[in-house]
Amino acid sequence: MLFPPRPTLAALAVACFLAGVAGSAAAQDASKPIPWSKKLDAGAGVSTVQVQAQTGGGGAMLLQGTVVLPAQQSDVVSMPVAGVVQAVLVAPMQIVRAGQPVARIMSPELAQWLREWLMADTQARLAQGKAQRDEQMFADGIVSEHRRNESRAQYEMASVAARERRQALRLAGVGEATLAQASKTAGLSPQLTLVAPVAGTVLEQMATPGQRLEAGSLVAHIARAGSLAIELQASREQAQALRVGDALQVDGCKAPARITALSPQLSSATQGVQLRAELTGREDCLRINQFVQLRWQGSAAASAAGVLSVPAAAVVQQGGRHYVFVRQPQGFRAVVVTTGPGGGSDVVITSGLKAGDEVAVKGVAAIKGAWLGLGAEAGAGQ
């Protein structure tokens, strides 16, 4: 018994290519009806839905975001000089007022700064007295103008040095009362109380009693009372529909959030677009680092006119285009559609359909098979 020769790989490749060409050619003729009897619906599992215009939530886009504390709403208490923490006076989650003591530190460096300021202040006073005497003696004709000018210059330099030392102490947190007392008694106290620069809530307390910290080390992190921000990411297609100022409804919040920034670049890791939104009202519906879901309802014009959406299962791709299968008296017709931004179970349709069209949502693969020339029976058996 003779068996027919088995096809070679080259022959199979040619056959597949010809089948693909035939299928593409058939798909390109989207206006040609797809013969389909309703008797085939049950066997292929085909079902349809009627497209209707929807207002408000029809074009909703779902986005995910994370609540963050804006940089302008954050303040820190740091070590102005190197020293040892003697006491911590606040705890995380504690509400503090501006000027409230946060920690006490012991710093020998602070005592050195006080000594340098007292010396500079004393030299400035001596230079001032000398300059006043030489001014009077110059008026009486006793000393020359050169000496008078030299005394003036020495006083000005000494005064600048004293003011510089005093300003350094003020920036370190030493109050005017402490400086006035030190000037009277020549006291050199190494103790300093750090205070909260603003009113808010303590997010973190990073120092412990007995710990030695360098200048600039963080002691506490304070969040000012105010609006929180939401950082979110959208796909490139979704970002094309979003604009700065668009409203986003936040789950769990009464007031919407407004988009305040859209990144001009894509994320190299996710190929998404970074966005930033802020709540328009003050309410306690969000917490820092909370994951939230936001809903974009589209522009006001689109919401007023109504938008169309179909289940995602109704949309197929062929040749770089999006199609849906619309029920016709003689079967179906493949219709090219333009999809809008969105996500989830529904796809927004911006062109190609009208309200009242009946589109296939199940058994779409079988209809597509018939459209590509496989035949209704073959498609129904897929």
Domains and CATH numbers, the chain: 29-59+305-380 (2.40.420.20), 61-70+227-296 (2.40.30.170), 81-107+190-225 (2.40.50.100), 111-186 (1.10.287.470)
pLDDT of 16 strictly over 50: no
- Report the percentage of the chain scoring pLDDT > 90: 26
Q: What is residue 227's predicted lDDT score, i.e. its pLDDT? A: 75
Do residues 63 and 186 lie in contact, with contact meaning Cβ atoms separated by under 8 Å? no
β-strands 191-195, 316-318: how paired? unpaired
Q: Which range has highest mean pLDDT (20-29, 54-63, 97-106, 282-291)?
A: 97-106
Q: What is the mean pLDDT of the chain?
A: 81
Q: What is residue 298's predicted lDDT score, i.e. its pLDDT? A: 63
- Tell me how far apart the alpha carbons of residues 127 and 266 are, in angstroms, rounded to a whole number: 64
- Tell me how far apart the alpha carbons of residues 305 and 297 are, in angstroms, rounded to a whole number: 13
- Integer angstrom CA distances of residue 236 from 99, 192, 260, 278: 47, 53, 18, 21
Helix (H) or strand (E) holding 275: strand 273-279
pLDDT of 335 strictly over 80: yes
Do residues 343 and 60 lie in contact, with contact meaning Cβ atoms separated by under 8 Å? no
pLDDT of 10 strictly over 70: no
Q: What is residue 4's predicted lDDT score, i.e. its pLDDT? A: 46
Do residues 223 and 203 lie in contact, with contact meaning Cβ atoms separated by under 8 Å? yes
Do residues 97 and 196 lie in contact, with contact meaning Cβ atoms separated by under 8 Å? yes
Q: Which tens digit of pLDDT belongs to each residue from 148-189?
A: 999 999 999 999 998 988 888 888 778 777 777 777 776 677
φ/ψ (deg, to 5) at 93: 75, 5
Structure tokens at 19: 């089948």
Do residues 222 and 76 lie in contact, with contact meaning Cβ atoms separated by under 8 Å? yes
- Tell me how far apart the alpha carbons of residues 54 and 298 are, in angstroms, rounded to a whole number: 12
Residue with tokens 């199609």: 323
Q: What is residue 60's predicted lDDT score, i.e. its pLDDT? A: 66
In this prediction, residues 29-54 reach a mean pLDDT of 79
State the pTM of this model.
Answer: 0.51
Helix (H) or strand (E) holding 74: strand 74-78
Structure tokens at 102: 């946060």
DSSP conformation class of 72: G
CA nearest 68: which of 295, 294, 286, 296?
Answer: 286
Helix (H) or strand (E) holding 18: helix 9-28
pLDDT tier, 380 (very low <50, low <70, confident <90, very high otherwise): very low
